Copies of this chain bind each other. A is one copy, B any other.
């Protein structure tokens, strides 16, 4: 982690991004996918930043993936208009109205995983000049949204088509990649499930142009016929990705900076609690983040504004008033808690970049 030497005069808690590391992450994935002939459509829910989205697009990304209508609105307003809402949103009432308005400024693709969702989507955008194209979500083993049965993929595609919208293709998210040693099998599951769904669509007379998979752990493991990848977390990395082998330690581009406010025998307290680090903790990790400068310290308990840290017997610990860097367990919900990122350039200068889509969860 390159962020152990934090800038002076940080007001904590805050989020600090190392620009050179982030740029390298963006470039590395783009090059790798370019070499494979796979389109890169990064998930913007991780950074929620128009400026970082622009860096990804300038590096060669086809557009961005988002998880909510609000994120799509923010990025479209920021000039990034090729957007995929990779989520089976329910577009009734005012959400349907917002989607209609968004079609006027953005080139949209939207996920669907049910016949009813497809007809609700189509009703919301009936008559617009540039309707969204639909991608049917496939459950490749994550067992969240999406459908498993290729026959159901076809049924949903027919509903999309009958309602007057174009079927763009299929997508999946192999969420079961988020466990130790699971990435290769999950990537194979993504590829297999997408291949079966795409083949079923072809047999039914559809031509799936986009076959889209993606998680950060599986981003480099997609096989034919996958032609689009939607990784998000790779842009910053986090403790979970490192633990899964999906990011190297020196690829982590973001830390939370916190100040030690209280020191006791065997423990100390930092001013980053659940409202800064979140209580996200994968089962295989101890504590709520990693301090690279004090790797044996366990961030053991979080209250809203307190992080209570346990110091192993005789181990080194920071002093009262010291500012420490913390690699969060899962970076996405952490960034969503902050209005801005402190971005440190290679020369040591700092800029504040807004988290434009902070809190846009609907």
Residues on B with C-beta less than 8 A from A264 are 139, 143, 147
A93 touching B9 by the CB < 8 A rule? yes
Residues on B with C-beta less than 8 A from A274 are 278, 280, 333
Residues on B with C-beta less than 8 A from A321 are 90, 92, 116, 120
B144 touching A361 by the CB < 8 A rule? no
Interface SS of chain A: loop
A359 touching B358 by the CB < 8 A rule? yes
Chain A residues 308-362 with CB under 8 Å of chain B are 308, 320-321, 332-333, 336-339, 358-359, 361-362
B305 touching A262 by the CB < 8 A rule? no
In the bound complex, what is the Cα–Cα distance between A139 and B303 (angstroms)? Answer: 15
A143 touching B359 by the CB < 8 A rule? no
In the bound complex, what is the Cα–Cα distance between A95 and B280 (angstroms)? Answer: 28
Residue of B at shortest CB range from A322? B90
A276 located at the interface, meaning its Cβ lies under 8 Å from any Cβ of chain B in the complex:
yes
Chain A residues 140-177 with CB under 8 Å of chain B are 143-147, 175
A216 located at the interface, meaning its Cβ lies under 8 Å from any Cβ of chain B in the complex:
no
Residues on B with C-beta less than 8 A from A88 are 261-262
B87 touching A305 by the CB < 8 A rule? yes
A243 located at the interface, meaning its Cβ lies under 8 Å from any Cβ of chain B in the complex:
no
Q: What total of chain A residues lie within 8 Å of the partner, measured CB to CB?
A: 64
Residues on B with C-beta less than 8 A from A45 are 304-305
A306 located at the interface, meaning its Cβ lies under 8 Å from any Cβ of chain B in the complex:
yes
**Chain A 261-302: CB-based contact to B (< 8 A → 1; otherwise 0):** 111100101011111101111000000000000000000010
**A-B CB contact pairs (8 Å), 17 listed:** A88-B262, A89-B271, A90-B260, A90-B261, A90-B321, A113-B262, A114-B262, A116-B320, A116-B321, A143-B264, A144-B269, A145-B269, A275-B333, A278-B333, A279-B279, A279-B333, A358-B359
Kindly list the 6 A-B residue pairs having the minimum CB-CB distance in the complex, ordered from nearest.
A145-B262, A67-B305, A279-B279, A275-B361, A90-B259, A279-B280
Binding site for B on A (CB under 8 A): 9, 11-14, 45, 67-68, 87-90, 92-95, 113-114, 116-117, 120, 139, 143-147, 175, 259-264, 267, 269, 271-276, 278-281, 301, 303-306, 308, 320-321, 332-333, 336-339, 358-359, 361-362
